[in-house]
Every structure is written in C-alpha cells, then in structure tokens.
C-alpha cells in the first residue's frame, strides 16, 4: 500500500487551530505530570531505601517500555491513538493519586515504588506510539512541521516548569503532595483529550492495516517500513543518530564537566545551551511551518550535529562549550522535528502507531543501553576519543541518508 496522507481541507494553521491547541494543552499537562512524577518517585525512593534501591526503582520503568513498545504501536493502530492516550493518562492519574494517598498515611516498601515504576513503564509503552500517531489525525499534512515545532516548545516549557513545580510540592508536603500534584496534572489532560477531534480512517484503509493477530499486524508494520523508499532509510538514519548522540549528550557531558573542573554549575550551563538551541529550532518551525528540501535539511542538521558533538570535547573554555551546546541543540532539535514530520508524512495512516513505536524503541529503548558503555569508554580513554568516535557514528547516519536518493529528496507537503 502506498503511503497516503489523511485529507483535512479547510483547516486553519496549526497555531490557530483550536483542535490542535487542545491537543497541545493536554500534551503540556501530561508532560508536566511526567516531570513531577519522576522527581517525586526519585525522592521517595531515596527516602525509603538507599542509592542502590533508588536506582532499581528508577530503572524499573525502562524494562516494560522497551519490551512492550512495539506492541503499543499495534494497540494504537487497532483501537485508535486518541482512545489509547486518554486511557493512558486516566491510568496514570488513578495510580499516582493512589500512591499519594498511601504515602500520606504510611511509609511503603521499595517494592511498592518498583510496582509503580513498572506500571508507568507499561503505560508509556502504550502512550508514546499513540501520542506520536495523533498529529496527522488532527491537522492537515502541510501543518505537520509546525505541529512538531509547537510540540518541541511544549516539551521545553514542561521541562522548565515541571521540576520547580515538583520541588515546591515536595517542600510543602513531601512526596505525597508531589504525587498528588502529578495526578492532578494528568487529570486535567483527560478532558482536553476527550475534546480533541480526529479524522477517522476510511473503512477499507482500517481493514487493510489491521485485522489479523497482533504478531501479524506488527509484521505488517515492519514490512511497511522496509518497503517504503523513505521510511526504511529514515528509520535506519534515526537509529544510527540516536546511538551516536545519546551516550555523549546524557552521560559524557557530565563526565566532561567534571574532567574540566566546571562542576555542576558548568554542567547546568551546557545543558541550558542544549535547551536554548532546541527551543530556537522548535520556534523556527512553529513560525515558518515548513522548510524546503526537508530530507536534505535533516541530513545536513545531522552532519552539523556530528561536527558539533566532536568539537564539544575540545572546547577550550566553559563559554565555548556552552556555545557548542547551543549549536548541538539547534541542529538536533531541527533535525529531530524534521525527521518526525517526514516520518508522519511518509507513513500510511493505518500504520502510524507501529511506525512511531519502532522509531521510539530505538530512541527510548536501545539507545539508553549506550550509557554504561559511554561511561566505561570515557573512564578508559578519556572524553576526546569517545566524543570523536560518537561524532563519527552520527556522521555515518548522515552519510547513509545523503546516499539514499528518496530520503535526500523528500519534501514536506505545502
């Protein structure tokens, strides 16, 4: 089946579309709830157990998320992404408010927090493919790049606001209050999601996309990726880029700041540079709505990001490192948003959940496995060789994309 976009004639631009803004508001509240939840969970884990137990609690959610992510894509396509997202936030709301009540009257064992982490990881495995499949169903194909820009801005706002909100709640009433705040934020997202209208799939398309066993539906989704001249190479490029970026930017920067004597404050400035660059990229897409030569631009961003990643370890001063961090955030943010828009444009609507699940699996399931490898490599060889090798991996992804004519020439709808 050839990938087709869902027609949505007469829709206003995404930033003036009430339907998109309702979805965006729900997304912000859900992300705020996530940020507050993780802060409260980590603090509660430290109070109940020691560092090892806290690490176990925080790692618990990653297991079902990685194992069940592909199945979550099948569920999103079978039952519709809107229903899955609503059910996910409802589940999170109930679980978190229950935990808040338990913490208010007792001190639970570590196993309770581990169960909470497992439940959240399972819900995330359903939520992430579904939320990625929603944009093409709520707006026109020509607005997908702008929606990704708005989504990026929402993510930055939730990250900036979530941690202080969680910290304030814990300062006032401890983890139980913070869990209560997180549950309330998830609750606020639900009516907004219920009010979101989505474009239904034609009956023949829905029947073509699902209908067999879950394994058959998953296999159909994987075949759709493999056979599409844009999707297959794009998923490979995304996987290579994540493997190169994830370790250095999440673990390596911390070790780099320690090695150079910049301390926690320096780490914060570099991370702030990443965030500022990514926010600028999201704002650019939200305002412009579309960039020409999207496939070529995405590969160019990946190549520039590779160069900046390698340069970061050689930065002669903290101010230079912050400047390089801004460049990495800008190129990675713009390239990531273009990748998401291209992915959603090229995917047949009936496979959106499964394709999103495959892409999310690499970024959230496989790439984090490089954390211990990055740490061990830096301990053995230092930051400069490891950052250089990581930059070479990212550059390889760009080379693969540039050598693939359909991806290099891919465009976003006007």
Query: Chain-wide mean pLDDT for the chain?
Result: 87
Q: Is 413 contained in some domain? A: no
User: Quick one: 215 exposed, middle or buried, by C-beta within 10 A (0-12, 13-18, 19+)?
Assistant: exposed
Give percent of the chain with pLDDT exceeding 70.
92
243 with 352, same domain: the answer is yes
CA distance 413 to 311: 35
pTM of the model: 0.85
Quote the domain boundaries for residue 238: 214-408
Q: Which of 46-50, 105-109, 371-375, 397-401 has the lowest mean pLDDT?
A: 46-50
DSSP-derived 3-state class of residue 41: helix
pLDDT tens, residue by residue, 42-90: 888 877 766 666 667 777 777 888 888 999 999 999 998 999 999 999 9
pLDDT tens, residue by residue, 211-265: 678 889 999 999 999 999 999 999 999 999 988 888 888 788 888 998 899 987 8
Q: Of 142, 174, 200, which marks where a domain is finished?
A: 200
pLDDT band of residue 206 (cuts 50, 70, 90) is: low
Closest CA to 408 of 270, 296, 298, 308: 296
> Which CATH number is 119's domain given?
1.20.1250.20
106 with 84, same domain: the answer is yes
Helix, strand, coil distribution of the chain in percent, nearest 5? 85, 0, 15
Count structural domains, the chain. 2
CA distance 349 to 217: 14
pLDDT tens, residue by residue, 19-46: 999 999 999 999 999 989 988 888 888 7
196 with 220, same domain: the answer is no
């Amino acid at each position: 089946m050839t990938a087709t976009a869902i027609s949505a004639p007469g829709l206003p631009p995404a930033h003036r579309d009430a339907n998109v803004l309702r979805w965006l508001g729900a997304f912000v509240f859900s992300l705020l709830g996530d940020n507050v939840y993780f802060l409260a969970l980590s603090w509660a884990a430290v109070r109940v157990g020691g560092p090892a137990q806290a690490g176990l609690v925080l790692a618990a959610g990653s297991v079902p998320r990685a194992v069940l992510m592909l199945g979550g894509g099948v569920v999103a396509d079978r039952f519709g992404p809107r229903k899955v997202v609503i059910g996910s936030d409802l589940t999170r709301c109930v679980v978190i408010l229950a935990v808040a009540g338990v913490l208010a009257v007792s001190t639970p064992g570590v196993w309770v927090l581990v169960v909470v982490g497992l439940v959240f990881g399972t819900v995330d495995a359903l939520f992430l493919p579904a939320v990625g499949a929603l944009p093409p169903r709520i707006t026109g194909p020509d607005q997908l790049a702008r929606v990704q820009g708005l989504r990026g801005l929402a993510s930055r706002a939730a990250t900036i606001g979530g941690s202080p909100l969680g910290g304030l709640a814990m300062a006032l009433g401890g983890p139980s209050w913070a869990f209560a705040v997180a549950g309330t934020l998830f609750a606020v997202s639900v009516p907004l999601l219920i009010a979101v209208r989505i474009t239904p799939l034609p009956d023949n398309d829905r029947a073509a996309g699902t209908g067999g066993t879950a394994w058959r539906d998953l296999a159909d989704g994987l075949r759709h990726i493999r056979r599409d001249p844009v999707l297959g190479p794009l998923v490979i490029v995304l996987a290579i880029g994540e493997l190169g970026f994830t370790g250095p930017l999440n673990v390596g920067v911390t070790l780099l700041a320690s090695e150079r004597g910049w301390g926690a404050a320096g780490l914060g400035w570099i991370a702030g540079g990443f965030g500022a660059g990514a926010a600028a990229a999201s704002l650019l897409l939200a305002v412009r709505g579309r960039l020409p030569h999207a496939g070529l631009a995405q590969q160019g961003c990946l190549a520039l990001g590779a160069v900046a990643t390698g340069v970061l370890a050689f930065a002669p001063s903290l101010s230079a490192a912050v400047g390089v961090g801004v460049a990495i955030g800008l190129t990675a943010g713009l390239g990531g948003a273009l990748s998401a828009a291209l992915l959603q444009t090229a995917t047949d609507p009936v496979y959106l959940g499964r394709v999103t699940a495959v892409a999310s699996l690499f970024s959230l399931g496989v790439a984090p496995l490089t954390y211990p490898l990055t740490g061990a490599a830096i301990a053995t060889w230092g930051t400069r060789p490891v950052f250089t090798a990581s930059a070479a991996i990212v550059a390889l992804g760009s080379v693969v994309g540039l050598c693939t004519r359909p991806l290099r020439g891919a465009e976003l709808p006007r």
